[in-house]
Structure 1
C-alpha cells in the first residue's frame, strides 16, 4: 500500500542533512536583484514545499512518515543583520508569514551589504529544536544561500559554536539543516556566501523549525537492570499486555491498556518506570509495538518523581505521529529522578481509547570517557550509500544517477569527496565510465585504487584512482550483477560472487579480475548457490551482500550471511566447499562481519530474510586456524539489528551503529539509535552515545585515519521520502576522550613510515613518546552494511632506542592483503595517534 506522504513532513526526520558541502560554484549571470518574484499564493507549508520541489518519483510502498514535528510559529519574531526596505519589501519578518511570495532579502539597493548576513528567529519560549528548514525564493535565483552556519542560544546574547555548518546546492528545493536536538529559544542562520556566486546577497522565502525527533547526541541509554514498570491499566485477559513487557528487550511483547470484556479503560493512561535508584534522565524513547497500529501513543506528557508519590511539572510533552518509528521525548533539561511517568491523553490514530508500547527506554547524559561523543551533522549533496577511505585524509562517497533517486541504468553516477582536514565536500557527476554505480560491489586494490562493479549498470566495472582523482572504465564483468560481494585476494586480483539484485536472477558464479590485464576470468567451479541464504525471495535476495574474508594462497572464507560457511579457492576454475555452520546462528542477512585480529572475525546481527523478519541480537566469533574454522557465540548486543554497520577500532574493539530491530528498506521504524562497543577481552557489548540520525538501509560507517568513525547515509527513496539522510556525523570513541570531553594526549608518529613497504619489511618508526603497540588498519570501503575490506593487523614491534621502534610487517599477503593501510601507534592506555598511510605490496 502506498503510504500517506505529507509534504509538511517532507524534510522532517531525525536531524536531516545540514549540508556541509563545498560544491563547485554553479555559474550564472549576476543579474541585478529585482522585485520579489511572482510566486505561490498564501498556502500551508506542506503545499509551499511541494511547489518548491517539483519532482515526483515513485515512492517505495514501505516508506515511513518521519517523526519530527514542524513547530508552531505563533508569536515568533525574526530579525536580520541586513534587510532591503527601499527596492523591495525584504524584511526578515517575511520568513514567518506563511507566504512564499514575500521574502527576506539582504540590502541590495545603493550599496549592498556584504556577508556574513544573519537571520535570527526568536520563538519567545524554550522548545526542543532539531533542524531549520530553509525555503529559497522561487523564480529569481539571486540570494540563494550557499555556505552557512547555524547557532543557537537560550538568551539571545550567548551563542556557542555552530551546531551545523555547510554549503547548500544552488536550487529551489527546501533544505533541512539538522543538528542535535536541544532546548533553545533563539536560532540563528548565518549566511557566508551566495550559492551561485552571483553577488553578496542572501534571501529566504520561509523558515521553519523542527521539534523533537530523537534523543540528543550527548545522551546514552541507561541500563535497565532491576527496573520495574507499572501502569494505570493493563490487559491481562485477552492478551498479555502487562506493563513489565516494555522492559524485556522484545518489542513483540508489549504493554496494552484494558480492552477485553467490552469495557476499555478510558483516557488518560499512564505507565511508570521505577529505576529503583536516582539518576539523571534527559530523554524517554518510546517504541510502538510492531505490525499493529492500535494503541500507538499520540498526545503525551512526561513527568518525574523522586519518591513515586509527588510528580513535578512536565519535562516533555507533545504529539507523536501515527507510524511505527521509534519516538523520543527529549527533556528540556536533564532531571534527577527515580520514577519516570509517561501519560497518554490520545491515541495517535484516533482509533480508540487504547494505549500500547513495545519498549520504553530512558537516556541520561553521556560520559565521554565511557560512551564517546558525536560531532555536528555533516551534510552531503547525496545520500552516501557507498564510501571509501582514501589517502590524503579523504572520504569518497557515491550513490546513484540522482541525488535522492535511483532506478534503471542511466550510465552515470553522483559522487562526492569529503576532505577530512577542511570539512569541505566536492561534488561531481561521473559520466565517462558509462556506469550507474548504485548498489555495487567494491574492492580496495593493491595500488590504492577503488574497483567498483555492477549495480544499476549491472555488467560495468569502474576504477577510481585517488592519486589522479580520476575515474576510468575497465573491462565489463562476464556476469551482470547488483548487490554482489567482493574482496581483494592475496594475489592482488579481485574476486566477486553473487548479486541477483540486478542483471537477472540466479547464476551469479564467481569471477576474478586481474590488475595486470584488466580482464575478468570466470570461475565455473564457484557457483553462488552453496553460499545463499534461505530467503523467501530466492535468489533475488538470497545471494546478496556476502561476507568474504581473503586468506593465503588466493583462498576466501565465505562466512555469511548464510548460516553455512564455505571455503572458496580461486585457482583455475575455482571450487567451493562446506566449512560448517556458523555455530547455532540462523541466516543473518544484512548483518556483517569484521576482521578484528589476525584470523579472527566477529559477526553481528542480521535477520533470517532480507526484510520484514525480526533481526537478532546475537554475535559470533569465527576463528581461523589453517583450513579449520571454529565459530562460537559471544555476548549478545543489547539491541537486535539488521542494516547496521560495524567498524573495528585500532585497539581491537568493534563498534556497531544503527540498524533496525525489524528491518524494512526505506523505513526508520524500529530504528536503533544507540551504538554499542564489543570488547574481545570480555565478549560483552556496552552502550555508546546516542545518535541523532537513524542509520538503516543504505547507510555506511568507516574508520578514519584519526581513529574516529564516520557514520552516515540511509534512505535514497525519492525526493518525497522522509527517510532520506543525505548526511553523516563523526563519532569520537571513548578511547580518545577524558570525562570532561577533552581529547586525551595522543602519541605522534614522527618518522620512519615510507609511502610503500614490502611484505616482511622491518620499519624503523619513531614517535614523540613511548608507545605500547602498532597496528595496521586497512583502508576500507562500505556499502549496504557490508565492508569486506576491513582488516586489523597487530604488528610485532621492539624498542630500538629512545622513541624508536622496529616494526615488522607480516610476510604473508594472506594476513596483510596488498593495499593501502593506516599505521596507528597506541600508547599504554590504548590511545591511538593519528595514522600514517602506507601501501603494502
Structure 2
C-alpha cells in the first residue's frame, strides 16, 4: 500500500473519529427531538440524530476548528447601555425590554399580550450611549416557552437615534431555541434596532428575547478594496535570516507559506517589533490585513498599533490599535480615518499566545476606499434559517436554497432536507422541510432541466433523486440512480437528458461510472463505457476525494467535455454504452480540485483556482482559457489572480467578464483561516484580474454564488459544521461595477419592453423592443451552484439586427449543444456594457 493510501478499515476508523465531534453535538439535538415528538407543529423543524455510518457510507470530515466556540468578533461591553421597545408586557408578567440586558437568560422581553395583543412589527432598540464599530446582533430566544421567537426580522443602525437609513440586515430565523448571530457589514453606530416582523412558529402576534448582545469590529473593512502591491518593499526592525528565511520581504510575495519572523536564532530581539510597508507612491489607505504564518503558532501578533507616514521618518498618531486573537484567521485593522500615506507601519507589542518574544506574519496587505464604478458594492447581509450550501435561480425572481437534514449541520441518511426560498423582490426568506421524497440532499449533484425544473441527486441519501418544480413549488421523487453517489457532477445534455459522473463521498468508494437520466421514462441508464477513473485527480485520498465536483460542459449530440478538475481533460459520449477519450491537458495546469470552470462565451471556458488535493493543500492563483472547436480542445494560461483560491465560486456576467468570490489560499474544510476577502473580476479582452470591493463575511467551504435576474450576484453560505464559528447562515447581493457610477448611484439602464415569449425553441428569431438604443443581447442560463461547482451556467451572445426604432431581431442559435435546453435570462446591454433587468424564457 503506497504512502498516503488507507485500507477500508483504517479509513472507516479515521472517519468515525472525525465524525465524533459532530456526533456529540447531535446527541443533544436527538434529546430535543424526543422531547418535541409529541408536538407535530414543531417536529418538522427539529433535527434528528443521524443514522449509524458504515465504512461504505463515507461521511464528511466534520472537524470544527480549534477556536470553534469563540465568536467571530468580541462582544461589546454592555455597561451603561439602555434599551427600549415598541411594545412590552408589564401586567401579566415581567416582559420589560430591560431584561435583555440583565445577563439572565431566565428573564425576557415580551411584546404586550395581555388584554389586546399588540400586532407586529415589534421593535427593540439598544442604546450604547457611545459610538462603536458594530458587526452583528446576537439574539437569544427565551428559554422553555417558544412563544415570540423572532421569525422574519430586520436590523437597522443609527448614530443619533433619528436617522436610521435602510436596514443593514434582513432575513428569517429558524424556529428553535439556539442563539442566532445576525451579522452585517461593520460600521459605526450608537443605536441598534431589531425589528421582528413575524413570529417564527406562527403561534401568535408576539415577539420575545432573553438576551441581546452586539459584536464589535471583526476586522473587516467596509467599502474597501485591496491595493495592488506591485513595486512595494518591506523593512522590519528585526528579521531572522540565519536559521531560516524570515525576511520582511516574504509578507509581499503572495505566498502565505513563507513568512517574516523577528530574530530568534541567536539572542532573540525583544518586543516590540515593527514592519514597515513602502508603497513607493502615495495612496489613500483605510485598513491593514494581517495573515499569520501558517505552519506554526509562534509569533502571532497580539497587541498592535498601525501608524502611517508620507516620508518614512515622521509617523503620525496611530490610526488603528487593538489586540488580535491567538488563531490562524486573517486579521484586519480598520483605520479610524482614511490616510494619505506612502509608508504604513505595523508595530506589535505582545505575542498573542505569550509563547515568546517573537513576531511573525505570512502576508500583509493594505486596503483603500472602493470606487463603486470600478470595484462594485455590497448590499445588506440577508439572514437565512439555514446555511445555503446549494442554490438554484428560479423564474419569478426567486432563489431556492438548501442545506441538509438540519439547518446548520449534516450527517446520516435521514430522508429529509431543510430548504428555503429567497424572494429577490422583497428579501423575504421562507423555510420548508422536504421529507416526501425520502431524500437528504446534502452534497448532491444538480442539473437544471429543459422544462425549468431542478433535478437533485444523491448526497447523504446516496441513491435518491428528487425534482423541484418552481411552477408548482412542489418536490417529487424520481427513480433511484443505479450507482449511489455524493459529491458527483451533473449536467444537462443537449438531448434534454441528464448526465452524472463520479461521487465517492457517499455510497461506497470507487466505481462511480457515468449514467444518464431520461425525463421521458424517468429512469437511469448505465454507461459502462464512461468510467470515472480517467477523470479523477491524483488526490492522496483517492477515490474518496479524487472523483468529486467534476467540471462538465455539455456540447452537441449529447457529448460532454470533462474539463477538470483533473489536469487531464476528456471527451464523453452518452449514446449507447458511452465512451470516454482523452482531450489533452489544460496547458501546464495541475489538478485543481475545488476550483471553478465558467463558460464565458460559446465554446470558451475560464478555469481558475483550485488545489492539487481536496484539503490541506495550497491553492493556486492560476487561470486558463479552454476553447472548443469541434473535437479540438485548446487550453492556454491567462492572467493570474491576485490571490490563490480554493473553495471559491465564480459567476459569468452578461458582459462576458467573470467574477470570483471568496475561497482560501490553503484549503481546509470548516475553517476561515487564509480566507480571501477580496473578490476579483476577469476581463476576457485583457486576460487580467482586477480587485473588487471587500466582502464582509468569509465564503469558503460550502459557499455559493449565482447570477441574479437583475444582473447582480448573490454570494452566501459556508460552514454547516454544527456549533462552530464558521457557520454562515446568510448571504449578500453584490452589485457589479457595470451598474454603478463613482458615487455609488445606479447607472441608467436600458429596459426590455413589450412581450418576450415565455417558451421558444433553438433556431428561432425573436423580435424584442427596448426603451433606448442597445448594443447587444445575451442569454444567460439560470444556474445552480454547490461546492464551488456550477455546471449549469453559460453565456450565449446573440446576433441581433435593428428592425426599426427600439426594435431588434435576435437569432437564437439552432444547436441545442450551444443553447442547452432550459431556463434563460435575456439581457440587453447598452454601448457602455450596462445590462437591463432580464426577462425569463424557456428554450427547449
* Fold in common (TM above 0.5): yes
Q: In structure 2, what is the equivalent of residue 33 of structure 1?
A: none
Q: In structure 1, what is the equivalent of residue 398 of structure 2?
A: 394
Residues 168-220 of structure 1: per-residue CA shift (max 9 Å, x gap):
33322111111001122222223334434444443322111112224234111
Q: In structure 1, what is the equivalent of residue 569 of structure 2?
A: 565
| Alpha carbons of structure 1 residues 544 and 466: separation in structure 2 relative to 1, 3 Å | same
Q: In structure 2, what is the equivalent of residue 237 of structure 1?
A: 242
Q: In structure 2, what is the equivalent of residue 807 of structure 1?
A: 810
Q: In structure 2, what is the equivalent of residue 418 of structure 1?
A: 422
Once the 2 structures are TM-superposed, how far is the Cα of residue 69 of structure 1 from its aligned partner?
1.7
CA RMSD in angstroms comes to 2.3
Residues 361-417 of structure 1: per-residue CA shift (max 9 Å, x gap):
111111000000111011111111111111111111111111111111111111111
CA distance in 1, matches of 2:369, 2:601: 33
Using the TM superposition, name which of 216-225 and 138-147 deviates more.
Answer: 138-147
CA distance in 2, matches of 1:127, 1:3: 40
Aligned with residue 778 of structure 2, among 751, 775, 778? 775
Aligned with residue 629 of structure 1, among 633, 636, 639? 633
Q: In structure 2, what is the equivalent of residue 822 of structure 1?
A: 825
Q: Does 1:307 align with 2:283?
A: no
Aligned with residue 120 of structure 1, among 125, 136, 139? 125
| Alpha carbons of structure 1 residues 628 and 360: separation in structure 2 relative to 1, 3 Å | same
Q: In structure 2, what is the equivalent of residue 35 of structure 1?
A: none
Q: Does 1:755 align with 2:752?
A: no
Q: In structure 1, what is the equivalent of residue 276 of structure 2?
A: 272
Secondary structure, in 3 states, of the residue corresponding to 2:618? coil
CA distance in 2, matches of 1:356, 1:130: 28
Report 1:104-119 matches (<5 A).
104-108=109-113, 113-119=118-124
8 Å Cα contact 2:47/2:406 also seen in 1: no
Residues 549-601 of structure 1: per-residue CA shift (max 9 Å, x gap):
11111111111000000111111111111111100000000001000001000
Once the 2 structures are TM-superposed, how far is the Cα of residue 803 of structure 1 from its aligned partner?
0.6
CA distance in 2, matches of 1:508, 1:309: 64
> TM (normalized to structure 1)?
0.91
| Alpha carbons of structure 1 residues 200 and 757: separation in structure 2 relative to 1, 3 Å | closer
Secondary structure, in 3 states, of the residue corresponding to 1:215? coil
Using the TM superposition, name which of 350-359 and 161-170 deviates more.
Answer: 161-170
Residues 732-765 of structure 1: per-residue CA shift (max 9 Å, x gap):
1000111111111111111242111111100111
Once the 2 structures are TM-superposed, how far is the Cα of residue 602 of structure 1 from its aligned partner?
0.4
Q: Does 1:740 align with 2:743?
A: yes
| Alpha carbons of structure 1 residues 75 and 165: separation in structure 2 relative to 1, 3 Å | same
| Alpha carbons of structure 1 residues 763 and 497: separation in structure 2 relative to 1, 3 Å | same
Q: In structure 1, what is the equivalent of residue 209 of structure 2?
A: 204
Following TM superposition, where does structure 1 have runs of at least 4 consecutive aligned residues deviating by more than 6 angstroms? 1-5, 25-28, 52-58
8 Å Cα contact 2:377/2:693 also seen in 1: yes
Residues 243-291 of structure 1: per-residue CA shift (max 9 Å, x gap):
2211111111111111111x22222222222223333222211111112
Q: In structure 2, what is the equivalent of residue 643 of structure 1?
A: 647
Report 1:136-175 matches (<5 A).
136-175=141-180
8 Å Cα contact 2:50/2:413 also seen in 1: no
Q: In structure 1, what is the equivalent of residue 14 of structure 2?
A: none
8 Å Cα contact 2:172/2:430 also seen in 1: no
Residues 658-680 of structure 1: per-residue CA shift (max 9 Å, x gap):
00000011111101000000000
Q: In structure 2, what is the equivalent of residue 839 of structure 1?
A: 842
Q: Does 1:540 align with 2:550?
A: no
Q: In structure 2, what is the equivalent of residue 788 of structure 1?
A: 791
Q: In structure 2, what is the equivalent of residue 259 of structure 1?
A: 264
Q: In structure 2, what is the equivalent of residue 616 of structure 1?
A: 620
| Alpha carbons of structure 1 residues 110 and 486: separation in structure 2 relative to 1, 3 Å | closer
CA distance in 1, matches of 2:194, 2:751: 38
Q: In structure 2, what is the equivalent of residue 97 of structure 1?
A: 102
| Alpha carbons of structure 1 residues 3 and 482: separation in structure 2 relative to 1, 3 Å | closer
| Alpha carbons of structure 1 residues 819 and 59: separation in structure 2 relative to 1, 3 Å | closer
Aligned with residue 498 of structure 1, among 499, 502, 509? 502
CA distance in 1, matches of 2:300, 2:261: 10
CA distance in 2, matches of 1:105, 1:564: 61
Aligned with residue 580 of structure 2, among 576, 582, 586? 576
| Alpha carbons of structure 1 residues 775 and 469: separation in structure 2 relative to 1, 3 Å | same
Q: In structure 2, what is the equivalent of residue 19 of structure 1?
A: none
CA distance in 2, matches of 1:741, 1:449: 37
Secondary structure, in 3 states, of the residue corresponding to 2:249? helix
> TM (normalized to structure 2)?
0.91
Aligned with residue 534 of structure 2, among 512, 530, 537? 530
| Alpha carbons of structure 1 residues 265 and 733: separation in structure 2 relative to 1, 3 Å | same
Report 1:219-234 matches (<5 A).
219-234=224-239
| Alpha carbons of structure 1 residues 126 and 277: separation in structure 2 relative to 1, 3 Å | farther
Gaps of at least 5 residues in structure 1 are 6-24, 29-51
| Alpha carbons of structure 1 residues 509 and 823: separation in structure 2 relative to 1, 3 Å | same
8 Å Cα contact 1:63/1:721 also seen in 2: no
Once the 2 structures are TM-superposed, how far is the Cα of residue 147 of structure 1 from its aligned partner?
3.0
Once the 2 structures are TM-superposed, how far is the Cα of residue 233 of structure 1 from its aligned partner?
1.6
Q: In structure 2, what is the equivalent of residue 463 of structure 1?
A: 467
Using the TM superposition, name which of 73-82 and 266-275 deviates more.
Answer: 73-82
Once the 2 structures are TM-superposed, how far is the Cα of residue 64 of structure 1 from its aligned partner?
4.9
